Amino acid sequence: MVLAMKFDSLGWLFRRPKLWHHLHQVPLGQLSVFLLAVFLLFSVVGFYGDLMVGGSQAYAIVVASAIYNGLNAVVWVIIVARLPVYCLLIMVAKETFFPIPKYLPHWVEVVFHPPPVPPAEGLHFAATAILLAVITSYTLFSAYMGFAGKEIFRIKTELQLAQSIQKTLVPPLSVDTSRFEIFGISEPSEKVGGDLVDLVQLKDGDVIAYVADIAGHGLQAGILMGMLKTAARTALTDAGEEHPDGAVLSVLMQRLNLVLPQVKESHMYATFTALRLNADGQAFYGLAGSPPLLHWRAAQKCILRIEEQQFPLGLLPVAHFGTSRLEMAAGDIAVVATDGILEVTSNAKATRGVEYGVDALGALISGHPDLPLSHLAAFILQTVRSYGKQLDDQTLLLVRRMK
């Protein structure tokens, strides 16, 4: 057991080839077709060996060699596709210290005493066997690719449906109230993302805008993101009118923190930033494990970084999430950006591995505070993607106080 654990810890030395990854999940029925095709294809090696010696080997020796080579290939496929990587060492040791093909003819002769075969008949037998093995192997590989093709088509269809649902759940936001201009956009790193930007208008004219970032990305994070949006809208419907000012944000985060553990896996959580933008111009914010909220102050022409030391949602049973007032004057901009933007690493040789970071984003906003918010968001995304490759969902929420 200890030895196995040591080999597993050295797994990086024996990377499983990417082309074999899908075989790990293939149902046994389909995998058996693939393995039979592999067996027949590599059994040709045994028949080819007889051709190279003029068809002089006994039939039993030729068949035994073909069976061994086919089974050996099947074992290699099973180890590479499904077994721990340290099993490769066992096969390498077997091939090195126990060269079975070298002694196989002698063992067959000792055990079975096969009669000799005329060379002409031996050549005919080996050539015919090769032809049949190749044709049958080709047929089985074609059948397996048909199975795989149907599965790939099904998965592709489901991903397209999930992507369509993603666009429905997280459309770009562009809303103007009597005092605020609001724009939000989310670009997933895969077909389906775990970031969410949403906006809920209350009956009194106030607006709740928020950004949530589910840990991880892909379909699993996307499903939890949809659940979070439903829970958030339900909570705001119940609490939006009852709690004045920033208190509704605290209630919203508390309710989400109670709901999420019931619908997620233990390792998942969500960072969360919410803004309440009132019809009278007041603004409030709440943060839960999020990157800093950036506040461009037009009068002072500077960027303020706002941070709160609070746990993310769905991770721990936190009793209270605090909220604060955000003093915004005409021309001020509040910017919420997820880790997918801030943690992009540089492609340039001189700065390779350096994250884009909050300071660079702040400088970018400071240099273009008068752009329409949709243009500013597009400029930020373009700049970040030219800085480095997108590896995570990238989401922005921009709010400008108009008067």
Q: Are residues 118 and 181 in the same domain?
A: no
Q: Are residues 228 and 367 in the same domain?
A: yes
Please give the Cα distance from 384 to 370 (Å, whole number): 19
Whether residue 170 contacts residue 394, with contact meaning beta carbons closer than 8 Å, is answered with: no
CA torsion, points 333, 338, 340, 344, in degrees to nearest 10? 50
Q: Are residues 54 and 114 in the same domain?
A: yes
Q: Which among 219, 71, 51, 173 has a CA at the least distance from the CA of 120? A: 51
> Rounded to 5, what percent of the chain is helix, strand, coil?
50, 15, 30
pLDDT in tens, 294-317: 999 999 999 999 998 899 999 888
**pLDDT > 60? residue 8:** no
Please give the Cα distance from 349 to 353 (Å, whole number): 9
Last residue of a domain, one of 109, 128, 163: 163
Q: Are residues 35 and 149 in the same domain?
A: yes
Last residue of a domain, one of 130, 163, 196: 163
Structure tokens at 147: 């199975």
Q: Are residues 150 and 241 in the same domain?
A: no
Q: Which helix (H) or strand (E) holds 181?
A: strand 180-187
Q: What percent of the chain has pLDDT over 70?
A: 87
pLDDT in tens, 225-257: 888 998 999 888 766 566 667 789 999 999 999
171-174-175 Cα angle (round to 5)? 125
Mean local confidence (pLDDT), 343-354 = 86
Q: Which among 296, 308, 311 has a CA at the least distance from the CA of 363? A: 296
Return the SS3 of 296. strand
Q: Are residues 181 and 93 in the same domain?
A: no
pLDDT at residue number 9 = 41
Q: What's the total number of domains in the chain?
A: 2
Domain with 331 in it = 170-401
Confidence category of residue 133, pLDDT binned at 50, 70, 90 = very high
Q: Are residues 279 and 333 in the same domain?
A: yes
Q: Are residues 175 and 320 in the same domain?
A: yes
pLDDT at residue number 216 = 72
pLDDT at residue number 294 = 97
Last residue of a domain, one of 122, 140, 163: 163
Confidence category of residue 219, pLDDT binned at 50, 70, 90 = confident
Return the SS3 of 241. coil
Q: Are residues 123 and 212 in the same domain?
A: no
pLDDT in tens, 352-397: 889 999 999 999 999 999 999 999 999 999 999 999 999 888 999 9
pLDDT at residue number 59 = 94
pLDDT in tens, 161-216: 666 666 666 789 999 999 999 999 998 877 667 889 999 998 888 999 999 999 87
Q: Are residues 151 and 176 in the same domain?
A: no
Cβ-based burial of 312 (10 A; exposed 0-12, middle 13-18, buried ≥19)? buried
Q: Are residues 244 and 332 in the same domain?
A: yes
Task: Give the sign of the dihedral formed by CA 368, CA 372, CA 377, CA 378.
Answer: negative
Mean local confidence (pLDDT), 128-147 = 91
Return the SS3 of 335. strand
Q: Are residues 85 and 152 in the same domain?
A: yes
**pLDDT > 60? residue 223:** yes
pLDDT at residue number 328 = 96
Q: Which among 71, 75, 74, 68 has a CA at the least distance from the CA of 104? A: 68
pLDDT in tens, 23-68: 666 777 778 899 999 999 999 999 999 999 999 999 999 999 999 9
Write the CATH number for 317.
3.60.40.10
Task: Give the sign of the dihedral formed by CA 340, CA 173, CA 362, CA 360.
Answer: positive
Please give the Cα distance from 271 to 284 (Å, whole number): 17
pLDDT in tens, 259-268: 898 888 888 8
pLDDT at residue number 90 = 83
E-assigned strands of 253-354? 270-277, 283-288, 293-297, 302-306, 324-325, 333-337
Structure tokens at 271: 């960072």
pLDDT at residue number 4 = 42
